[in-house]
Amino acid sequence: MGFAEEKGSNVLFAKTSCFGEEHGSRQALLPKEGKEGSLENARKLELVDYDSLPKYLKHNEFILRYYRCEWPLKDAILSIFSIHNETVNVWTHLIGFFLFLSLTLYAAMMIPTVANSLYAQQPHSGVESPFSSLSNTSGFGSIFKEINTSSSQTSMPHPQFHDYFGKIFAARNGDESAAAPSGQAISRWPFFAFLCGAMFCLLTSSACHLLSCHSEHTSYVMLRLDYAGISALIVTSIFPQVYYTFACEPFYQTVYTAGITTLGVLTVLVSLIPFFETPEFRIVRSLVFVCMALSGWGPIVHKLMLFGNRPEALLTTLYEFLMNSCYGIGVVIYATRVPERWSPGKFDLIGHSHQLFHVLVIAGAYIQYLAMLVYLQWRDAEGC
């Protein structure tokens, strides 16, 4: 087997196969004794080029080098601390997982699950609307100004979120003077279901990128978990918008929730088909998840038909548009494999399409989290 040293780097990559000319044979996988065994083990931990990979690891021909190929499980796990072409993929979603874990713990402590104070009956003087503050930090100033004007016309108080959480703490400490007009906080399970769905998606994605290099069986299992995680994120992203939008319409709640759940289960079942993961079906995979995500626009349009004059409906719709834009752009980048398609080998370690896709997924999920806060604020204030 011949090896070449990458210019400007101390990383070696193989030019033939994972285990030399006998790649794929059981003999090549057997442990060796003595000096020969040490050389064989060292060879297994080298980074190889695309042409050296077995078929099940060939997903993107525009990423040319720095692949891990059939590493022992322990070494695959420890490779989280080394440099290869999956390092950024692993860490982007692992960091995203800890971000949403922090948001979940924060929400669990800050947002009560029983009726507590969220608003006084009348707006507080001097309390700035969140729409006003948003208008100062975004390019949607005129939109938020219109929303804020609509809010004042309907006499609907909209304190900032820090004021919202501050009132919650006051209530938990025994101050009942600012009870919510509805008298009871809306159920939190859709909100936390979304957070759990996001964490599951991010964690399974990170694990998939870290461990799939171990073996063909491991790759098969991890990819299915990855697809299940994507489905979970999409489904649980739609749960809250349906539940809180149609809080007073249980029929629509049931129809939309059952519909998106069914689509999610069907998507997971389709992903079990072996050819679903092949490079030839990259576009098909993308379309399957896009179609499932687009189903969420049904309840959004319905929401605008019912509450189109409400600032909460407009703001949450704006968030949902931004969320879907992030996901949509990410899917296009994933399916077209840009920018590495334009310059193969240049983006092997950083900047390739899947890494950009990961960042956009985290951004979209966080935007949806902001929308959830608006939904909670809305329904806790008014109830049903």
- DSSP assignment letter at 81: G
Q: Is 59 annotated as a binding residue?
A: no
Q: In this structure, are residues 324 and 270 in contact, taking their beta carbons and an 8 Å threshold?
A: no
Which one, of 367, 363, 316, lies nearest residue 143 by Cα?
316
SS3 293: helix
How many beta carbons lie within 10 A of that of residue 167, not counting itself?
Answer: 22
Q: Which two tokens stand for residue 84?
A: 């290869």
CA atoms within 13 A on the CB side of 369: 22
Q: Is 302 annotated as a binding residue?
A: no
What's the CA gap between 193 and 221, in Å, rounded? 24
What's the CA gap between 275 and 160, in Å, rounded? 50
* Alpha-helical runs (H) found in 154-215: 161-172, 189-211
What's the CA gap between 5 and 1, in Å, rounded? 13
Q: Is 158 annotated as a binding residue?
A: no
Which residues are documented as binding site for Zn(2+)?
209, 354, 358
Which residues are documented as binding site?
209, 354, 358
